[in-house]
Amino acid sequence: MDLLNFINPIHWIEKIFHWLGRPKPEVKFEYLLSSSNENNYCHLRRNTTFNGKLGWFFRIGVDNNGLRRIGESDVRVEKIKKLENGNYKNIPISPFFLHWANENTDNSRSIYKNSEVFCDVVFTAEDLNKIFIFHKAKHSGAGVPSYLDPGKYIFHIKLLGANISPLEKSLKIDFSDKWDNLKMELV
């Protein structure tokens, strides 16, 4: 049977169409820290967790430029490195999943063609000198930090999905001790 598929032109045409229509994920981020001119990635909001304090929320966008949906997708933080004495050193963490924006569950999600969805990464809160991490609730207390102290960090992330090859990216985060002065870039 395999030999017949090998020489069957219809089999090859189906394989080519399948490959051409595959999901094509893309991770996006655009830095803009302006309360009067927000974008989809950086928001100034009141945080109900911290008694209504103002906070900056940072998230990445995940888009699918392919024809078929990306099934069961998640963004996982593989490791976090902190700049110390001129070198980036690993912070001991267990890998964890980030939270999909505007979702009330820890479920994985589908990403459809040309429909950018957002994944929360970190946020700050007024008068608090911490970077708070938006991990899924199921990771609370499981070797996953809820916050980081001021410093320069690199988050190594991986977009996973049922029908895609993992897509690896890095986020560089620079946080002084001011809640409204965090910088983040996709590298």
**Quick check: is 17 in a domain?**
no
The range of the structural domain enclosing residue 93 comes to 25-186
Taking the C-alpha atoms of 74, 183, 125 and 39 in order, what is their torsion angle to the nearest 10 degrees?
-70
Number of domain units in the chain: 1
CATH number of the domain encompassing residue 169: 2.60.40.10
C-beta separation of 118 from 57 below 8 A: no
User: What confidence score (pLDDT) does residue 130 get?
Assistant: 93
Beta strand pairing status for 42-47 and 109-111?
Answer: unpaired
**Quick check: is 4 in a domain?**
no
**Quick check: is 2 in a domain?**
no
161 φ/ψ angles, rounded to the nearest 5 degrees: -165, 160
**Quick check: is 10 in a domain?**
no
Residue numbers of the chain with a pLDDT score lower than 70: 1-6
**Quick check: is 143 in a domain?**
yes
Tell me the CA end-to-end span of the chain in Å, nearest whole number: 47
86 φ/ψ angles, rounded to the nearest 5 degrees: 85, 0
Q: How far apart are CA 3 and CA 108, in angstroms?
A: 39
Please state the pTM of the whole predicted model: 0.86
**Quick check: is 13 in a domain?**
no
User: What confidence score (pLDDT) does residue 4 get?
Assistant: 61
Using CB atoms within 10 Å of the CB of residue 161, give its burial: 0 to 12 exposed, 13 to 18 middle, 19+ buried. buried
